[in-house]
Amino acid sequence: MPEARVNPGAFDGRVHVFPLRVYYEDTDAGGVVYYANYLRFAERARTEMMHLLAKEYGRLVADGALAFAVRRCEADFLGPARLDDVLEVRTTVTEARGSTVAAEQVIRRQGREITRLKVRLACINRAGRPIRVPAELRHALNTVMS
């Protein structure tokens, strides 16, 4: 059976752009996206960005060799998204060194910012201890920042 196709988004210069649609499951009783789901959208976009940047990423995560844990997240909610809206998550890596990666993410609806996030990730091993970001991935992250 052929592998399912996933839209990983694409890079527009230094910015990874990831499109997504708001589904019923993303909304509250009023049809508005529940605030925690913006964090899920951002996580999904970062994961797809990592898959584009490093071929080994999926294997390393699946093997338990590494994971990224959110160490800090700052979010500004500027406007609501609703059922069936088409959103765009724009991710810019701002730092990649040692065992940390920092990124700024903007979620847009029809070109207008509705959420801004600043995220700091810690690269960890299976035991939850910090480890260095693998060289191939760190190189790819640094290339995207230039």
Q: Going from the N-terminus, what domains does the chain have, and what CATH number goes with each?
A: 10-145 (3.10.129.10)
Q: Which residues are catalytic?
A: 28
Q: What is the arrangement of strands in the sheet containing 15-21, beginning at the earlier edge strand?
A: 10-12, 15-21, 86-97, 100-109, 112-124, 67-77
Residue 64: per-residue pLDDT: 84
Q: Is the pLDDT of residue 3 over 70?
A: no
- Express each pLDDT in 19-74 by its tens digit: 999 999 999 999 999 999 999 999 999 999 999 998 888 888 888 889 999 999 99
In angstroms, the CA 123 to CA 102 distance is 11
Residue 27: per-residue pLDDT: 97
Q: Is the pLDDT of residue 75 over 80?
A: yes
Q: Is the pLDDT of residue 17 over 80?
A: yes
Q: Could you tell me the pTM of the whole model?
A: 0.93
Helix or strand run (H / E) with residue 119? strand 112-124
Q: Is the pLDDT of residue 1 over 80?
A: no
Residue 6: per-residue pLDDT: 81
- Express each pLDDT in 97-129 by its tens digit: 999 999 999 999 999 999 999 999 999 998 999
Residue 146: per-residue pLDDT: 84
AA identity, residue 81: A
